[in-house]
Homo-oligomer: A and B are copies of this chain.
Amino acid sequence: MITVDEALSHVLRCARRNAAVRVDLSQAAGRVLAADVQSDVDSPPYDKAMVDGYAVWSQDLADGHAQLAILEEVTAGDVPAHGLSSGQATRIMTGAPLPAGADAVVMIERTAVVATADNPLGLVIIDDAPPRAGQNVMPRATVIRRGETILCQGTRIGPVEIGLLAEIGASQVDVFAPPRVAVLATGDELVPASQMPGAGQIRNSNGPMLLAAVARAGGIPLDLGIGRDDRRQLTELVRRGLESEILILSGGVSAGVLDLVPEVLAEAGVQQVFHKVRLKPGKPLWFGVLPADPVDKLVFGLPGNPVSSLVCCELFVRPAIAKMCGRSDVGARCETALLAADFQHRGDRPTYHPGRLQAAENGTIVEPLRWLGSADLRGLAAANALIRFAAGDRRHAAGATVDVVRFD
């Protein structure tokens, strides 16, 4: 049986970055840039006042004092009407462009205005330290130069990048299309959440859970509902699911007599890459590929037990979605934490146990949660991470460093 790391390598080898699509900037949050983006402007676009005050020629204030004739008033959004000569000053607001001839701004707090007969705006009296050229001025193109690459292919777009892209004129951007991910829960015993289960039935919890996990991971979820253990119906649902870049099935991959899923997939042309992983919970995981353009379709057969299903989704499906979305930080989510309490591990497979991560004085600690096994979704509800315990019966002492996989 292959290890978790081997299984993940197979998955990531088969997952390719999806095709690029052009989207409006308002739709780009969370996506990854598929091309470098250059600026079509300088930023700031002009020599810019950094404070409210008066634009001056610094040499007029060799000793810090002067009385200067006020030429005009310029606010952000205005363009100065007049160049400035020696003996003159322009009232200027933060963010406004400096007039030609000015090379410094004196803060408003260092100035006073007096009326004068020959100038309707009056004189400004300045009493300050001698300004240096460039004082309170941000020169044109300090932050961004026109034509320069500002954001690179592979950058994940968050609010700051949205603002930056707006600033440089990228009102539409090329991003990697997120994969569509179809989710099909299989099993004769399943009924929808809205229905009261009869004898021998349980509600379909995996479907809604996996759809939410797919959306959280950045995929576009598609609900295929419940598939019965019926070859014809499964075949049709699998065909529909393979229109998406990823098809997730839950249930139908353990050793039960009704496990039609692998056969139906083989008939659809899906080639098995691996079946079973040395992992608890989640051993029965099945993974296969259907060759296709522009990217191969990935098929995950997740175990039917809800916790096994979620663990496999976090460990294998989430990195596949991330890679298809163009993210580069895929699979590098190794993190460690200090065990908050003693924990007795039993079992011959590496175990991913629900845990609660918290920031603490001495670093991050993780508390192993009470958990009744792979049918106990309730035990997972308080968890924000999985703690990895190596195979073998062993007592792990409080304070020991353990590997964790964070959910968010």
Contacts and interface: CB of A to CB of B under 8 A. Distances in A.
Interface of A: 25-26, 29, 40-41, 43-46, 48, 50, 52, 73, 75-79, 93-97, 108, 138, 142-144, 150-151, 155, 158-167, 169-171, 187-190, 192-194, 196-197, 199-213, 215-216, 223, 229, 254-258, 304-306, 310, 335-336, 359, 362-364, 372-373, 375-381, 383, 407-408
A164 B209 CA distance: 8
B166 A201 contact: no
Given A41-B197, A44-B375, A363-B363, A77 B165 contact: no
Residue of A45, A169, A204, A378 contacting most chain B CB atoms (<10 Å): A378
A162 B209 contact: yes
A381 B158 CA distance: 8
A6 B337 CA distance: 33
Instruction: Give how many copies assemble into the complex.
Output: 2
A231 to B, nearest CB: 15
B257 A158 contact: no
A75 B258 contact: yes
Contacts of A142: 372
B143 A306 contact: no
A210 B159 CA distance: 7
A72 B327 CA distance: 51
A193 B169 contact: yes
A129 B165 CA distance: 68
A359 B335 contact: yes
Q: Report the 7 A-B pairs with minimum CB-CB distance, sorted nearest first.
A: A77-B189, A163-B209, A77-B188, A166-B193, A171-B194, A159-B213, A159-B212
Contact of A138 (B25, B43, B213, B375): B375
B166 A216 contact: no
Contacts of A75: 188, 256-258
A264 to B, nearest CB: 17
A205 B150 contact: no
27 contacts: A25-B208, A29-B215, A29-B216, A41-B203, A43-B202, A45-B201, A46-B200, A76-B200, A76-B304, A77-B187, A77-B229, A78-B188, A93-B257, A95-B304, A95-B375, A97-B199, A160-B310, A160-B380, A160-B383, A162-B211, A164-B205, A167-B203, A167-B205, A170-B193, A171-B194, A362-B363, A363-B363
